[in-house]
Amino acid sequence: MRRLLNVLYVTNPESYLAKDGENLVVRVQDKEVFRTPIHYLEGIVTFGYMGASPALLGMCIEKGVAVSFLTRSGRHQATLHGIPKGNVLLRRKQYRLADSEEDSAKLASMFVIGKLANCRTVLRRFMSDYGAKVQIEEVDLVCKLMAQNVIRLSNEPSLDKVRGIEGESARKYFSVFDNLITCQKPEFYMRGRNRRPPLDNVNALLSFLYSLLLHETRAALQTVGLDPYVGFLHRDRPGRAGLALDLMEEFRPYMADRLALSLINRRQVTGDGFIQKESGGVIMKDTVRKVVIDAWQKRKREEITHPFLEEKIPVGLLPYAQALLLARHLRGDIDGYPPFVWK
């Protein structure tokens, strides 16, 4: 597997990115605050308005470093990258499968199998770690439901059925999610998932982590030459990265939900890092954002044995490994897509 390189997250909206030789330099009010050789990076993600010199952008294109521009709340605006990798034959195959209900359903069920299996493991791990503190029965029931739904998905259901199972499972999963929050109860609770805008601190935290994850899956798909915008589970909608959202499903519980829980339960984030606006929507402060990004970067460096490739890789390479397996399946190297299942 290839090396995990760093993604630089630039959160200070005053930052200006420049090039100096083969280095990236971050300046704030004309003072240099950060410098790194460009070959340590595989991506740059910037939040909020900021400038970058054309020379830097040129170097990023040449070295294959993707530069993503996000709004301060984490909504994706644009990504700059060089000539697309991969070829038109691979993308055509992707489009052909996406046009076929049957093929789409097959792939969609794989992504959802991965997601539900991993949701189940998140719940089970939590029950064994916190046994007495959580309401076992309720959580256990959802675990069983996840298992049943995985079996239903393996019986080749239609695309509508897959979407139905996914929706039902997600609702049930989040209905017991509150049990997994064992600390800071008044400030952090889960009463269902909401996102436009997030209406409580937990949803704000999850939304932010999902936006980091989406950036990674989109970049991974682009790297292997797939079109992140044409999905199988997610229907086409202009501006929506359907395939990136598809691929992201299996990572949500493992990479984002668990991290959100541990940030809360270890009191690394606290209620005063969030602001509820008059409309009810919740915004995260820059300080919390920094804590979350640091934890995310650390998490990405941890190693895991990939269940299908049976090879030790950093967690941060999981989206790439799965994108690669998907591309290899579309090219006919393997006769199916093996979702990432955490055991």
Partner 1 sequence: MIKHYAEDDLLPLSGIQHLAYCERQWALIHVENQWVENLRTAEGRNLHQRADNPFFAETRGVVKTIRSVPLVSKTLGLYGVADVIELQKAPDESTGVKYSIVEYKRGRPKLDDKDEVQLCAQAVCLEEMLEITLDYGYLYYGETKHRQRVEFNNSLRTRVKKLAERMHELFAKGETPPPVKDKRCKNCSLSDICVPKLAKANKKVDKYLSSVIGEMRNE
The residue ranges that bind partner 1 (CB under 8 A) are 1-2, 64, 84-87, 89-90, 113, 117, 120, 143-144, 147-148, 150-151, 154, 224-225, 307-309, 311, 324-325, 328-329, 331-339, 341
Please state the separation of Cα 19 from the chain's center in Å: 29
Helix H or strand E segment including 20: strand 15-20
Q: At 6, list the tokens.
A: 């760093």
Closest CA to 232 of 288, 173, 136, 163: 163
Tracing tokens 């930052």 back to the chain, one arrives at 15
Distance CA 237, CA 219 (A): 19
- In whole angstroms, the minimum distance from the beta carbon of 242 to partner 1 comes to 22
Least separation in angstroms between residue 99's CB and partner 1 is 19
The answer to whether 5 and 41 have CB atoms below 8 angstroms apart is yes
Looking at beta carbons only, is 3 or 267 nearer to partner 1?
3
Query: Are the beta carbons of 226 and 87 closer than 8 angstroms?
Result: no
Give the shortest CB-15-to-partner 1 separation in angstroms: 28
CB of residue 41 vs partner 1: minimum separation in angstroms?
A: 14
CB 316 within 8 A of CB 93: no
**Residue whose CB is less far from partner 1, 201 or 223:** 223
What is d(CA 174, CA 261) in angstroms, rounded to the nearest whole number?
A: 13
Query: Residue type at 239?
Result: G
Report which DSSP code applies to 39: G
Angle CA 279–280–282, to nearest 5:
115
CA dihedral in degrees (168, 284, 56, 52; nearest 10)? Answer: 120
How far apart are CB 171 and partner 1 at their closest, in Å? 19
**CA-wise closest residue to 50 among 28, 31, 33:** 28
CB nearer partner 1, residue 63 or residue 72 = 63
Task: Report the nearest approach of partner 1 to the CB of residue 159 (Å).
Answer: 19
Between 30 and 335, whose beta carbon lies closer to partner 1?
Answer: 335
Q: Where are the beta strands (DSSP E) in 182-305?
A: 274-276, 282-284, 303-305
Specify the residue, 238 or 332, whose C-beta has the smaller distance to partner 1.
332
The smaller minimum CB distance to partner 1, of residues 211 and 223, is found at 223
**Does residue 274 contact residue 204 with C-beta atoms inside 8 Å?**
yes
Minimum distance of partner 1 from residue 267's CB (angstroms): 34
Closest to partner 1 by CB, 302 vs 335, is 335
Nearer Cβ to partner 1, position 1 or 183? 1
- The minimum distance between CB 213 and partner 1, in angstroms, equals 22
Could you give the CA distance from residue 219 to residue 301 in angstroms, rounded to a whole number?
18
